[in-house]
Every structure is written in structure tokens, then in C-alpha cells.
Amino acid sequence: MANARAYPLTSSPFYRLASKQKLAAILGVSLRDLRLLLKQPDNYRLWDTRRRRRDELVGIPHKARAIQQPKPLLAIIHKRLAILIGRIEKPDYVYSATKARSYFDNARPHAIGEPTVKIDIKNFYSNVTRRFVRDFFERRLQCSPDVAHVLTELCCITTASSSALPTGSAVSPVLSFFACSEMFRRIAEIAKDHGLIFTLYVDDMVFSGSKANRHFTSKVVHELAKNGFVGHKITHFRGDATKVVTGVAVSAGRVDLPFRRQRKIRQFEEAFWAATNPEDISLLGATLLGQYREAERIKPGTKLRALAVAARLEKLGLSNGLPPSVKKRRGYPGKRLDAKRFDRLRSAVSLNPSTTSGGPETLVNTGVVMAA
């Protein structure tokens, strides 16, 4: 389904933008606030993901991932950028960061009973460097050099060793595509020349068709290497094999829940029915209800299994789902920032690292001062 609000790149509010004052207005902040933001010495928190309590209860192992998370003020700007950049029209093969498209939609085109190859891009965000980002703003969107510079600094995290897209930002999924759109365009042409179906979901490329073979794969990997990327986790499937594409099992004319997801649901069910602690029951029950809802999209009828879980939660007075101690916080404030709100957020981003949630962190200096 096409996004009715999508527009050509030339209709983007950033197209040929030459005024920092207008840029600030588009982002919903004053120019003064934008300058203050760029002067902040600690706009990001760096932390490693931890094993969730629910996974501990079930015994699911955890592999830590490094997260580069914008602090509240910058996160608002990133969300605004993600919305506006996300409205630019994308090629039909792009399924990530696209309204009315999902990982499920990304998998369905490959349910054709043909050979398939999957190629992931290693450390994708970390390798979408400021060069790619600046080229997008300055060459594709034709922003003035100073505006392109500001946008690049807003979107990239700068450390001692590199400057690239952050791993925990709302803007990275959509901007990573546009920053590398020329590379993906060439890969799409290679796929078309081989008569293949191609879909892209962030860094996950999938190709299906009779010529999805190792010779074709070598061409894609070569194109990635030319741009400084590494193709890895390369998997080839026979035409009659069941393939797992972005979390969906596909075969000829059929989609299903992958065995791994079905096993995970069973693990949570076993833990839920064995649990006696009310908070554990509530946490596991809420997790199961979410898993059933998500699985229903792929395997209709799964949600019927939620009835017994919901009945137990209600019987124990836990039908509201997560207990207060683990309920999610409200989202960030609205997109318009007044002076008082800016001061509050500036205080928020200056919290002592040892008192903030999410684990150990390192404060990162953006190293940017915006010219008057």
C-alpha cells in the first residue's frame, strides 16, 4: 500500500534549504535552541543492552548490543527528522521505515517457491558515516553547505574514532537508506538484470528467483565492498526450502511462524503457568498476550490461546497487564520547544550517569558549535 502522504524528494521541506533559521522552524525549535543543542557536550548515552527480567524467567540467553541513544532533546529532533525524511518517496523494494509496510510485508514477496539468498550488512549504522549523510543533504537534497553541515551534525554521533549514524536513534532507519540510496539503486539494478525479486529491510537484503545463486551473490557483495560495507550472514536457500525472512517463515504460497518463534512462545507459556509470584505472572502474561497479538498476523488463530492467559490474569487481579513497577513511561514532549521546556530537557540530559536508567554509560561530545 502506497503512503498517501509521501512526496517526491523535490517537495521535501529540506530541498534546496539555505537558511538555518528556516531549518530551525521546520524542526520546531528556535534558532537559539538549535545552537544551544549543538553546543551540548553530552547529547548521547552509550550503554549495552541487558538481559530482560522476562527472559531471565524463561532462561533465554542474551547477547549484549551497544546502544547509542540520543538524550531527550536531541531525540525529539531526531523523531521530527525521521517523520519528514520518511515522507520522501522510496523505491518499491524498500519496506523498512515506510508507512503501511512491515517486516511481514517484506517477507511475503519471497513466498514463491524459488531459490532465495539473504545478505545482511555488517554493522550497518556504524558504517553509514558522515560522508554518506552529508552527501545526501548537500547533493541529493541540495541544501546549502552550512545547512547540510548542521543536519549532518544533528544526525551523526561523533566519537574519537568515527562519526556515523547512532544505533539507537529514530532517524537512523530511514536516513541510512537515503544516505546509501545510490548503492541500493545499483544493487536493485543487479537484481533486476538477473530477474530477481529484491526487498530491503534496513540492512537485511533478500533476493528470490531462479538466478539467486552464488555468482549473483558475489556481485552484490562486491558492490557493498566498493562502498565500504561488508556483506555477512549470507544464506542460500533451495526453491523448495522454507526460508525465514525478517522473522517470517515463507515457502511456496505460504507464510507461517518460524519454529524458533513458536518455541519461544511455548517457553513463555511454560514459565507463565509455572510461576507463582504475582509480578512474574503479570510480566509473563503481558509478554504472552503481546506475542499472541503479533503472531496472529502471521498465523491466524493464535490469539485464541490468549483466552486462558487473560483469564488467569483476571482471576488474580492482574488483568491490567504490567504491574506499576514496570509500566512504560510516557513519551517525550511534543515537537514544539519553548524556553522553559528546553531548560528542563537540558537539565535532563545533564543527569549524573550513575543515576540514569539503562545501565553504565559514557557521555559523548558532539564537538559542534554553530556559527552565529
pLDDT digits (tens, 9 = 90+) for 273-322: 999 999 999 999 999 999 999 999 999 999 999 999 999 999 999 865 54
pLDDT at residue 335 greater than cutoff 60: no
Which percentage of the chain shows pLDDT scores above 90? 79
Query: In which band, very low, low, confident or very high, does the pLDDT at 343 lie, cut at 50, 70 and 90?
Result: low
Q: Which amino acid is at 118?
A: K
- Residue 116 has phi, psi (to 5 degrees) of -135, 145
pTM for this model (two decimals):
0.83
Q: d(Cα 181, Cα 193) in Å, to the nearest integer?
A: 18
First to last CA, the chain: 44
Query: In which band, very low, low, confident or very high, does the pLDDT at 340 lie, cut at 50, 70 and 90?
Result: low
pLDDT confidence of residue 330: 42
pLDDT confidence of residue 318: 87
Higher pLDDT, 162 or 262: 262
What mean pLDDT value characterizes the chain? Answer: 88
Handedness of CA 89, 95, 97, 98 (dihedral sign): positive
pLDDT confidence of residue 337: 47
Which percentage of the chain shows pLDDT scores above 70? 84
Torsion on CA atoms 279, 285, 290, 296, rounded to nearest 10: 180
pLDDT digits (tens, 9 = 90+) for 344-358: 555 544 433 333 333
pLDDT digits (tens, 9 = 90+) for 27-75: 999 999 999 999 888 899 999 999 999 999 999 988 888 899 999 999 9
Place of cell 538555518: 20
pLDDT confidence of residue 342: 52
pLDDT digits (tens, 9 = 90+) for 248-279: 999 999 999 999 999 999 999 999 999 999 99
- 3-state class (DSSP) for residue 233: strand
Contact 221, 119 (CB under 8 A): yes
pLDDT confidence of residue 323: 44
Residues paired with 364 in a beta bridge: 44
pLDDT confidence of residue 319: 66
> So where are the chain's domains?
9-110+122-186+213-229, 259-316
Contact 64, 359 (CB under 8 A): no
